[in-house]
Structure 1
Amino acid sequence: MSGRPECLYPLFAEVQTLKGVGPKTATHMAALGVEAPRDLLFTLPQSGIDRHLRSTIQDAALPATLTVAVEIGTHTPARTKGGAYRIHVQDAETSFQLVFFHARGDYWQKTLPEGSRRVVSGRVELFDGIAQMVHPDHIVAEADSAQLPDFEPVYPLTAGVTQKLMFKATRAAASLVPDMPEWIDPTQKARVGWPDFVKAVQAAHSPARLDDLAATAPARERLAYDELLAHQLTLALARSIERRKPGRASHGEGHLQARVMSSLPYLATGAQDRAIVEINADMAAETRMNRLLQGDVGAGKTLVAFMALLRAVEAGGQAVLMAPTEILARQHLESLQPLAEKAGVVLEVLTGRDKGTDRRRKLDALARSGIQILVGTHAVFQADVHFADLRLAVVDEQHRFGVRQRLELGRKGQAVDVLVMTATPIPRSLSLAQYGDMDVSVLDEKPPGRKPIKTALISTGRMEEVVDRLRAVIEGGRQCYWVCPLVEESEVVDLTAAEGRFKQLRAALGEGVVGLVHGQMPAAEKDAAMARFVAGETKVLVATTVIEVGVNVPNATIMVIERAETFGLAQLHQMRGRVGRGEAASTCLLLYQSPLSENGRKRLEVLRETEDGFVIAETDLQMRGAGDLIGTAQSGLPRFRVADLERQAGLMAVAQTDARRLLSDDPKLESGRGKAARLLLWLMRQEEAIRLISVG
């Protein structure tokens, strides 16, 4: 399956092979993401104009776009250069004017001679009580009126590309679609009544009414499904190849796991037990584990991950836990060290900060199994880091860690099992788009003893009260976080700078009580400030969002988030999860600047009403869209031209089930439907998937 099938060549030729598209237009079209005729098939109209023929413009609610047959009357030339050239016309009931600016009179005299009949279509407006159609969109002879579509599709445009051009180009592209075998499961297709691919393309580009433009219109839904199916086939192929890669069975009789479990002051939740069983089974299998552990703030992911690390050690091997930042790596070390001591296991940390003899000592120990569990940043990937027997890699908090990076990790040679942990509850449609190649364990219960966090909305006008409240909390021996949106004063955005807030709070609460952490600080300073807060030396930590992920200070009971309306919901939920980790009741204060927009208020109220991260994430998705939710740049999300991740979550789930089933019945895609699916992968530019088939 080396090259693209010949029947698709015309669709993947250059855009200027289409009639009427020159090199210049082709350059303009690239701005719409159109590089080949194939891309035009998936550039669908975004709205439409009703152009059905009516007998008269009389009684129409103006302004409106109307299409009528008229008899051409007298011409009134413009009085000034570039002025209005008027042609009086009469339809079945009434008269109006066609108006042209910068017109050449002789041209219109010839084209629209008095007494001739035409069909005109365009926007009709009243000027000084007279109905006028300025620069009609269409003027055709009555005999040719069938050329005008009753409903004209309106395409997204860019500079240098007109509606007329898009209309012609999309039709030219559609005419190049060969007869395609069906890749959709026949029962699925019949159940929802989708047309064949060729018919779907034609129908989507020739809507007959507004309903045909809805995402739920059969032709559009089918094309959206084709995109989702191709994407899920790619993920399912990656997954089946991962699964066929020989793994290493890591068996353990559970003595280390049991030792840690029995030492805990609480019982694991049902969800934690389930996840541990799933992971143990994956690790014992001959194939490689590729699992996502998804759990809300405080659902106890760390314990589950540690059980997996111990299983690797029980099997006689080593394991690594990778954290995205230095601070988090050190924090994992602190929280896991006591558990490791209970289990009698050697745990060490390796980050970019380890230098010289210290680093060499650690590398030697790793190479001779002297270290059983390593916690580190991506410094672990450096060439001189060798493990005696690495069996498991746990990757923490990696929404910045797409499918490609996961494959990289697998390519590190040894048959390493991979467990990815994320604390961001991801709505189902997005987690399928992003992690569709993985098996998923969800922790959807909170461990006992975690107290609910009280959330309040307070206007920034009541700042003094908030500071008084902090003073009382500090006197009671507790600590607080104060999150600011920006580091330096910016004139454009009146968000209070962290530096300024730090000085004000220090003045109000006293020297040495308030610490500061922000993104521009050198790492060593940042860690030192965090360490002072963790140790309880400073009572208030003023911070930019660097504290969002994973920081654990049980004594902190108040989280103040300033200008909360400027943050995303998922981010606010993550930050709120930094408190409520100890015995005492905790509070999160969302400070907003009034007036709040309707949307802003709604978002903050969702947070006040619920602590369920999945509910919050779904709301966030509906309100902001997929790209913003994860930050498009680092989302690892595919870009779909027709499918809409927010509104078509259900279709994505069907596509995943279908893709996995097709591949389990026909792993090499050699059946009739399998071959059709290969064609779909080529059509959807999934070359990566095609490489996987040939590799597999």
Structure 2
Amino acid sequence: MRPALLDPLFASLDTLPGVGPKLGELFARLFGRESVEECRVLDLLFHAPHAIVDRRHQPGIANSPAGAIVTIKGRVDRHQPPPPGRASLPTRVFIQDETGELALTFFKVKGNWLEKSLPIDETVIVSGKVDWFNGRASMVHPDLMVLEADAASMAMVEPVYGLTAGLSQKVLRRTLEAALARLPALPEWQDDAFLRKQGFEPAREAFLALHAPRDATDIDPQAPARRRLAYDEFLAGQLSLSLVRQRLRAVPGTPVRGTGALTRPVLDALPFTLTGSQRQAVADVTADMAKDERMLRLLQGDVGSGKTAVALMAMLAAVEAGGQAALMAPTEILARQHHATLSRMAAPAGITIDILTGRTKSRERDAVLERIASGETQIVIGTHALFQDTVAYHRLLLAVVDEQHRFGVHQRLRLTAKGVSPHMLVMTATPIPRTLVLAAFGDMDVSKLTEKPAGRKPIQTVTLPTERIGEMVERLRAAIAEGKKIYWICPLVEESEESDLMSAEERFQTLVAALGPVAGLVHGRMAGAEKDAAMLAFKSGETRLLVATTVVEVGVDVPDATIMVIEHAERFGLAQLHQLRGRVGRGDAASSCILLYKGPLSQTAHARLSILRDTEDGFVIAEEDLKLRGEGELLGTRQSGTPGFRLASLEAHADLLETARKDAAYIIERDPDLTTPRGEALRTLLYLFRRDEAIRFLRAG
């Protein structure tokens, strides 16, 4: 049960004064929720300001720099309404100080509120952005206007918040004040000695200070209030991961000891030998699976580093031990591809491999479910469909999850809830920096594949401005004549009015016009069957050039594709560019990647393209990407069970994450059920940061 003292913070946002349906809709958009009913008062408290407006800057009218926000004290000289019948023209009010004159400009003025707010001959204080036209200063719709007599009520320093179209700072601030008024005194969940050492104030005071900055240093991520709350958020995350881990560990695993009867013939038949890091990963995994407690291991490997072979060895060990293995992929295309690859690789072992996805037809589906339940199916590959309630396994010993960041901690637990407690191997082709591994998966052992399989050649990467696209199409004509296969990636599906990006459909038309019917098209809006057909035509060589959106990013395997063109490369993130580039260079032929960009490039885009040109090491690229973009983007969407931190930042607060991890381990060791006074307070912390699913795993509650 959530502690009652948090109820005011978990009330719906529309319980705050002034938040009706219209304003509620804006807040829902701001917080990325479906409706205002899903927004909580808490969401506002977590919405930290990113800048301040300092109204203490009072240079005088003549000395006000163009574009700056200034505060002016002056006497109201005259009002100049628009001429009769010209209501679309603005009303101007002129004020003067000892240095000059300023025109305050107002559009669509109704009634006499201006005369009341700015009476002639009164001294007033106004604040806003100054512009200069023909040597005259003007301020359009000042942010603040008060009579000198009322100046004490004017806030001279104001926080600036992220907004959405239609929502103003003023309205957000007013709603936030109402939210802050509901903030209760919170119990102290941090260790006293730690608080003193860091100089942290209590959590309630930290929230109040976060929203009442006095100068620029208070907005800095290193400001004490922000650091205090960042640590709270990290601790909530690490503690919930530890509790989940404790629960997963509490369900004993079945020791799996392979006999080698299936792995040996498969290894002997492979056309390559495993790399050193693949052999190490297989040893790590099989050692973990032989233990009584369940394996929970993350296998990180760059694009093309051979994760599939490692997963297959682990799955064969499970089958050798008399059990079943399941591999879950995030998309239909990927599941089918894994099925094709693994069926081919495992053929010498003569085992039964089935596939189950959302698109499996009902009669076929019933047959597959029957084979899984009887144990006839030894390895099953599929999408989320594998973990639905209708699927009963005969003896599932190993679950392999591909592209973990698309699945949250919850999906991992759903497996456990089925009364099945398989060992778990999680694979990702997104090389994740250590800090992120800690934050997202703090509960996992990690194996890294750092070498490319033998025979893979480096990919030559070049950047090219879009003006030279004509030359490039001619080079592609020659490449196609030599029998080469080419990917051409576009950022959009179809052209939109506002966008100057080239859409996939439009680029497809221009390439067919230039090169003839050698091109195919695949994008996310096509029906599954159409996509499969387009991919198949490219794979078989019926088409030589595939125009695609980023649907080919993960795992589409065409080993003889050697050229990758990425249009508007400046619009993609580093990790994504690296993933896309990894679709070529999978065979033994020399491959190249052409990054087409539209200048002028921003500093970040320039840095991105340079890093990509200079290195193929996914781990270096991931570290750089984290510096350039921050963690929310790196793991894909916020909703995918990844750490969408609201107040903590992995770049700014990495030192705190390490401390939080140790603190969580210490707490779990001393107080596994959170029943001590600090433990009770920590339960409140878990609810506050919405990590309460972890509380369900406490034996006591």
Once the two structures are superposed, residues 177-232 of structure 1 have per-residue CA deviations (whole angstroms, 9 ceiling, x without a partner) of 44434323445444443333233233323322211111111111212222232233
The reply on whether 1:273 has 2:279 as its aligned counterpart is yes
- Measured at CA, do residues 42 and 335 of structure 1 come closer, stay the same or move farther in structure 2, by a change above 3 Å? closer
State the 1:317 CA deviation. Answer: 0.6
What is the alpha-carbon distance in structure 2 between the residues aligned to residue 17 and residue 553 of structure 1?
Answer: 55
Map of 1:414 onto structure 2: 420
Q: Is 1:590 paired with 2:595?
A: yes
Q: Displacement of 1:693 after TM fit?
A: 3.1
Does the CA-based 8 Å contact 1:506-1:514 persist in structure 2? no
Question: Is the 1:502–1:515 Cα contact (8 Å) retained in structure 2?
Answer: no
Alignment of 1:567-582 (within 5 A): 567-582=572-587
**Counterpart position of 2:694:** 689
Give 1:129-144 correspondences, 5 Å limit. 137=144, 139=146
Q: Partners in 2 of 1:188 and 1:83 — Cα distance?
A: 59
Question: What is the match of residue 502 of structure 2?
Answer: 495
2 CA distance for matches of 1:168 and 1:562? 45
Q: Is the 8 A contact 1:484 1:498 kept in 2?
A: no
SS at match of 1:201: helix
Whether 1:679 aligns to 2:684 is yes
The residue type paired with residue 458 of structure 2 is: P
> How much has 1:611 moved relative to structure 2?
1.0
**Could you tell me whether the CA contact under 8 Å between 2:523 and 2:548 is conserved in 1?**
yes
Contact 1:5 1:679 in 2 (8 A): no
3-state SS in 1 of match to 2:593: strand
84 and 485 in structure 1: CA distance in 2 versus 1, 3 angstrom threshold: closer
CA RMSD, 1 decimal: 4.4
1:632 match: 637
> Which residue does the alignment assign to 2:258?
252
Q: 2:447 aligns with which of 421, 426, 441?
A: 441
Q: 1:569, 1:87 → 2: CA distance?
A: 52
Within the alignment, does 1:285 sit opposite 2:291 as a pair? yes
Q: CA deviation at 1:439?
A: 3.7
Q: Given that residues 25 and 160 in structure 1 are in contact (C-alpha distance below 8 angstroms), is that contact kept between their aligned partners in structure 2?
A: no
Distance 1:538 1:620 in 2: 34
Structure 2 distance, partners of 1:633, 1:670, is 32
* Paired residue type of 1:4: P
Say if 1:487 and 1:497, in contact at 8 Å, map to a contact too: yes
Among 44, 50, 55, the alignment partner of 1:46 is 50
Residue 246 and residue 624 in structure 1: after superposition, are their counterparts in 2 closer, same or farther (change >3 A)?
Answer: same
Q: Where in structure 2 are there 5+ consecutive unaligned residues? A: 84-89
Contact 2:491 2:501 in 1 (8 A): no
Task: State whether structure 2 residue 228 is matched by structure 1 residue 194.
Answer: no
2:87 aligned residue: none
Q: Contact conserved, 1:251 with 1:284, CA < 8 A, in 2?
A: yes
Q: How far apart in 2 are the matches of 1:329 and 1:233?
A: 33
1:184 equivalent to 2:190? Answer yes
Q: Work out whether 1:663 is the aligned partner of 2:668.
A: yes
> In the alignment, is the contact (CA less than 8 A) between 1:200 and 1:222 conserved in 2?
yes
Match of 2:86 in 1: none
Taking the TM superposition and a 5 Å limit, the aligned residue runs for 1:66-465 are: 120=125, 122=127, 137=144, 139=146, 151-155=157-161, 170=176, 173-174=179-180, 177-186=183-192, 188-261=194-267, 264=270, 266-351=272-357, 362-381=368-387, 385-463=391-469, 465=471
Quick one: distance in 2 between partners of 1:28 and 1:541? Answer: 41
Q: Are the counterparts in 1 of residues 632 and 643 from structure 2 also a CA contact under 8 Å?
A: no
Give, in angstroms, the shift of residue 614 of structure 1: 2.8
Shift of 1:592: 3.4
Residue 619 (structure 2) pairs with residue 614 (structure 1): yes
Q: What's the TM-score once normalised by structure 2's chain length?
A: 0.80
With over 3 angstroms needed to count, the CA separation of the structure-2 counterparts of 1:557 and 1:163, relative to structure 1, is closer
Q: Residues 637-660 of structure 1, C-alpha deviation per residue, up to 9 Å, x if partnerless?
A: 454443335544454444344334
> C-alpha distance in 2, partners of 1:160/1:470?
48
Percent of matched pairs sharing the same residue:
49
Cα deviation 1:619-644 (Å, max 9, x = unaligned)? 44444455555553764445444333
In 2, the alpha carbon distance for the partners of 1:553 and 1:627 equals 31
Alpha-carbon distance in structure 1 between the residues aligned to 2:533 and 2:127: 69
**Distance in 1 of aligned mates of 2:424 and 2:207:** 41
Q: Residue type matched to 2:502 in 1?
A: L
What secondary structure, in the 3-state scheme, does the structure 2 residue paired with 1:399 have? Answer: helix
Is the CA contact 1:402–1:636 (under 8 Å) kept in the aligned structure 2?
yes
Q: Which amino acid aligns with 1:458?
A: L
Cα distance, 1:188–1:371 mapped onto 2, change above 3 Å: same
The residue type paired with residue 508 of structure 2 is R
Alignment correspondent of 2:560 = 555
Instruction: Give the Å deviation of 1:587.
Output: 1.4
Q: Give the SS at the match of 1:632.
A: coil
8 Å contact kept, 1:400–1:634: no
Name the CA distance, whole Å, in 2 between partners of 1:357 and 1:163.
58
Give the aligned residue type for 1:48: I
- The structure with the larger Rg is 1
**Taking structure 1 as reference, are residues 327 and 465 closer, same or farther at Cα in structure 2, changes over 3 Å only?**
same
Paired amino acid for 2:551: V
State which drifts further: 24-33 or 546-555.
24-33
**Structure 1 position 275, deviation (Å):** 2.6
* Equivalent residues of 2:78, 2:93 under 8 A apart: yes
Is the Cα contact below 8 Å between 1:340 and 1:346 reproduced in 2? no
How far the C-alpha of 1:59 sits from its partner, in A, is: 8.7
Shift of 1:380: 3.8
Cα distance in 1, alignment partners of residues 511 and 113 from structure 2: 71
Can you give the 5+ residue segments of structure 1 that lack an aligned partner in the other structure? none
**Distance in 2 of aligned mates of 1:78 and 1:508:** 65
- Contact residue 297 and residue 445 of structure 2 kept, 8 A: yes
CA contact (8 A) 1:502 1:514 kept: no
Query: Secondary structure of 1:371's partner?
Result: coil
SS at match of 1:241: helix
TM normalised by structure 1 equals 0.81
Within 2, Cα distance between the matches of 1:83 and 1:356? 70
Q: Deviation per CA, 1:96-134, whole angstroms, max 9, x where unpaired?
A: 89979876799689x9998xxx89463596899899999
8 Å contact kept, 2:146–2:154: no
Give, in angstroms, the shift of residue 296 of structure 1: 0.8
Distance 1:209 1:595, change over 3 A: closer
SS in 2 for 1:200: helix
1:10-25 equivalence runs, <5 A:
10-12=8-10
Deviation at 1:3, TM superposition (A): 3.6
**Which piece of structure 1 moves more, 264-273 or 569-578?**
264-273
The 1:127–1:231 alpha-carbon spacing in structure 2 relative to 1, beyond 3 Å, is same
Q: How far is the alpha carbon of 1:4 from its aligned partner?
A: 1.8
Q: Per the alignment, do residues 139 and 608 of structure 1 end up closer, same or farther by CA in structure 2, a change over 3 Å counting? A: same
Deviation track 1:16-73 (CA, whole Å, cap 9, x = no partner) reads 887x76768984884555966544443444333435598x959964576667999x8x
Alignment check: 8 A CA contact 1:177 1:198 kept: yes
Partner of 2:3: 4
Residue type of the alignment partner of 1:337: S
Residues 61 and 101 of structure 2 are in contact (CA less than 8 Å); yes or no, is this contact kept in structure 1? no
Deviation at 1:432, TM superposition (A): 4.1
